[in-house]
Structure 1
Amino acid sequence: MRIFTKYSKAFIGIALVAATTFAVSCSSSRTGSSKSKKVLVFTKIGVDNNGRKAYAHASRIPGAIAIMKLGTENNFVADTTSDAGKFTPENLKQYAAVILVSTTGAHIFDDAQKAAFTSFIQHGGGYVGIHAASDGEYDWQWYGKMVGAYFKAHPMGTPTATIDVVDRTSAATKMLPARWERKDEWYAFRAMPQDVHVLLKLDESSAAPEVYGRSPQAKMGADHPLAWWHDYDGGRAFYTALGHTDASFQEPLFLQHLLAGIEYAMGRKKM
């Protein structure tokens, strides 16, 4: 639990409860004003191809806590849950955006929840996908188009590599260096995202030779996107493949990158 030592005691308490129940159920950052916008942070894990629980990223919990903290600092309220039953037309009306934090696996939503989510976006809602939000709901074409691309593979571990910031004018990248070195789990995708504005690309050659030597299936070559945004089906969608590690949610640059994506999804900020 060392990851939580850098948070306030209040957030540590929330984290301990979340770790015990393996869900953060509808806790809210309540310090925002009555005019604050709200977001729904969603952390459910689905099932794998064998019907067993899919891989659960531990970073979902510090991710949810970090977004709540961003809310208190930037005048929005973050409700967090792993209950897909919150995806109803009536409940989603209160939110400006939904944020899926590494929601891996299939059958995360039932048909009624999918319909509510679709309607939410079509009526101007926003979506933010973090890391493994691209690793699920492979049979739901509408969702795949909203995310932009589906996960294919990654190298072992969290090796150091360098990101090329290909759009340095975006609200989600203008704070970043042109070449951004960090550690993460470097996702490759089944296909290139279509009709999106790519913000970040991975320089695969910057990783140690053994990284892709051991995992050639995780290579995409010179054009390896990692983050993008697009207006989608009446709403707004932002995806970043970063955020596998707990430490990501303590990195000031990553949090600023994520915050800009959230504010775009809420309709507050243009990209």
Structure 2
Amino acid sequence: MTSEHLVVFTRTAGFRHDSIPAGVGALRALGAERGLTVVATEDPDTLAAALPGAAAAVFLSTTGAVLTPPARDALRAHQEAGGGFLGVHSASGTEYDWPWYGDLVGARFDGHPALQPGVVQVEDHDHPATAHLPARWTFTDEWYHFTASPRGRVRVLASADESTYTGGRMGADHPLVWCHENTGGRSFYTSLGHTAEAYGDEAFRAHLRGALDWVTELSEKDR
């Protein structure tokens, strides 16, 4: 997808993450590395106006019902025209009453244990978002549960090792990061990114960089 801008949407209608400003800053920097300007907004009308021609829409820690009908139409048109979508952290806790959005993200947020360190198991290193990571990556996050595992409908890139933290309830099959092309364009979701510190972590920033490269089709295999 060839374009010169990303749209970063950060509206919340539920819990609001203190890490959103750090996330916007990281995405501006990552976009600049690729010659992409960033339109950051919490206004669904601005989102709808900026989506046509955008390389990707990034939903950064959005929560609840945040889209108007025109914004929904614009997001769907963007994706069905081959645009990219990157959902970060609580993007999976957004627009619960819109089934199409649930398909776009891949799974629905269903709670989390306390913030704590744990281990991310990288299942697939053949992707720019995970190629740089070790097979077992220690990270501090909220270890989101989902109403159901998306495995079988998406390409799972990384999962949680629930034996390394307390409060897990999905068991052996606990995807955390995945991608797919089931709604027209490319869609990538990472459940990580709760803390502001994460966006300054080089491994996590490289994770986001690879995700952006993939959804905008700028990864090496697509050049």
For this structure pair, what is the TM-score category when the shorter chain's length is used for normalisation?
over 0.9
Equivalences for residues 105-184 of structure 1 within 5 A: 105-106=64-65, 108-156=66-114, 158-184=115-141
The one-letter amino acid paired with 2:116 is P
Larger Rg: 1
1:244 aligns with 2:194: yes
Deviations 1:137-158 (A, max 9, x none): 11100000010000001002x1
Q: Secondary structure at the match of 1:39?
A: strand
TM-score when scaled to structure 1? 0.78
Query: Are the aligned partners of 1:150 and 1:189 in contact in 2 as well (CA < 8 Å)?
Result: yes
Distance 2:210 2:144 in 1: 21
Query: Are the aligned partners of 1:122 and 1:233 in contact in 2 as well (CA < 8 Å)?
Result: yes
The one-letter amino acid paired with 2:5 is K
- The match for 1:93 is 52
**1:265 deviation in Å?**
1.1
Q: Which has the higher helix share?
A: 1
Q: Secondary structure at the match of 2:209?
A: helix
Q: Secondary structure at the match of 2:110?
A: strand
**1:36 deviation in Å?**
6.4
- The match for 1:221 is 171
Q: Secondary structure at the match of 2:87?
A: strand
Distance 1:116 1:36 in 2: 16
Ranked by relative contact order (alpha carbons within 8 Å, sequence separation 6 or more), the top structure is 2
Match of 1:83 among 33, 43, 58: 43
Unpaired runs of 5+ residues, structure 1, are 1-34, 47-53, 213-217
Distance 1:171 1:45 in 2: 29
Deviations 1:68-123 (A, max 9, x none): 011222322111111111233x53223110000000112x1111211111011101
TM-score when scaled to structure 2? 0.94
- The match for 1:49 is none
Query: Are the aligned partners of 2:3 and 2:54 in contact in 1 as well (CA < 8 Å)?
Result: no
Unpaired runs of 5+ residues, structure 2, are none
1:267 aligns with 2:220: no
How many residues align? The count is 219
Distance 1:185 1:119 in 2: 32
**1:180 deviation in Å?**
0.2
Distance 1:265 1:168 in 2: 17
1:188 aligns with 2:148: no
State which drifts further: 97-106 or 66-75: 66-75
Sequence identity percentage: 40
